[in-house]
Structures are given as C-alpha cells and as structure tokens.
Amino acid sequence: MKQSTIFRVSIATGALAILAACGGDVAETDEGAAAASDEPAIIGERQSNFEGIGDAFKVIRGQLEGGAPDFAAIEGAATDINERAQRITEHFPADTSVDDGYDTEALATIWEKPAEFEKAAQDLVDASAEMITIAAGGDVAAVGEQVKAMGGTCKACHDEFRLDTD
C-alpha cells in the first residue's frame, strides 16, 4: 500500500473513531448538520476544481516519472488544468474566506487584492496553455521545464492567497 493511501486510511479511521466517541444527542447532531449545510455550495465547487487541477498535475508528473511519457495524456491533463484554471476566479464570491468562518483555505487577501488574484489565476491559464503546446511537440525536457513553470504559478498563488495549514 502506498504511504499516501495508508495516511488517508489512518486519518479516516481516526476521524470515524472520534465521531463515534463524541456520541451526543439528536439535537446536537441536527445542529451540526444545519451548520454544515449553511456553507455555500461554491466552496465545495472550488475545492473540487482545485482537486481536479491537482489530479491532472499528478498525471503529468506520473508520465514524466514513467520513463516513456504518453504526450497525449500530458496534453489531455494540461487541457484539463487549463479549463479548470479559467474557472478559478468565478469560484470566489465575496464572504467565502476562512475569515468568514468557512472550512476553506481561501484568505481574505483574495478580495483585498482582486487584480493580483486574477493575475495569479491567469498565470496558471497561460502556463497550462503553453504546456498543451509543448506536450504536442513531444519534447520531454521542455515538458519538464514547463511543469516547473506551472508549479511555480501554483506556489505563487498559494503563498499569497491560501492559508498555510502545514
């Protein structure tokens, strides 16, 4: 079993054990469910969008680590990232930050510096569009360099606009 799978299973098992130990009456359970339903659906949508970007990025890295990359798979993953990156800014309506009490890593800086946030999102759109072009050329070294460029756009955005939970 991969280490990340073991980690996920351990976390899930621990969380279930904590939930089971908490018990509580029906009123507390219903109250907790009501609070969770108060979270705007857009937060789940944006988290899902970012998970999709991460998954597509893993496809690209996996292809490069495999020795004989499938450039069509890399191009497809880059296309997925590009399409998802184009939707990033629409997933951040006002009052949906961690400071607003939601289960998110979105910092208020997103709304305090909207032009910078839009530029950060556009940087990923541009880098992923370039990856599509480079992947079509079949040059492993160029794809590797563009992976670094794409990763750099993610890091820059995270450094400025995402809560560091590590």
Is residue 43 predicted with pLDDT exceeding 90?
yes
Query: How many domains, in total, are found in the chain?
Result: 2
Q: Is the pLDDT of residue 67 over 80?
A: yes
Residues 117, 139 within the same domain:
yes
For the question of whether the overall pTM of this predicted structure is more than 0.85, the answer is no
Q: At what angle do helices 41-65 and 140-161 cross, to 10 degrees?
A: 150
26 domain-assigned: yes
Within this chain, do residues 32 and 64 fall inside the same structural domain, yes or no?
Answer: no
Do 61 and 72 belong to one domain? yes
Q: What is the pLDDT of residue 10?
A: 31
- Average pLDDT on 109-113 reads 97
Q: Do 29 and 93 lie in a common domain?
A: no
Q: Which of 53, 68, 76, 77 is nearest to 140 (CA)?
A: 68
At residue 19, does pLDDT exceed 80?
Answer: no
Rounded to 5 degrees, what are φ and ψ at 162?
-120, 135
Does pLDDT of 14 surpass 70?
no
Binned at pLDDT 50, 70 and 90, residue 37 comes out as low
Give the model confidence (pLDDT) of 118-146 as tens digits.
999 999 999 999 999 999 999 999 999 99
Q: Are residues 5 and 18 in the same domain?
A: yes
Q: Same structural domain for residues 32 and 46? A: no
User: Tokens at residue 96, please?
Assistant: 């949906």
- Residue 10's domain spans which residues? 1-38
Please check whether residues 28 and 58 belong to one and the same domain: no
Q: What is the CATH number of the domain that holds 84?
A: 1.20.120.10
Q: How many CA atoms lie within 13 A of 51 on its CB side?
A: 6
Whether 166 is covered by a domain: the verdict is: no
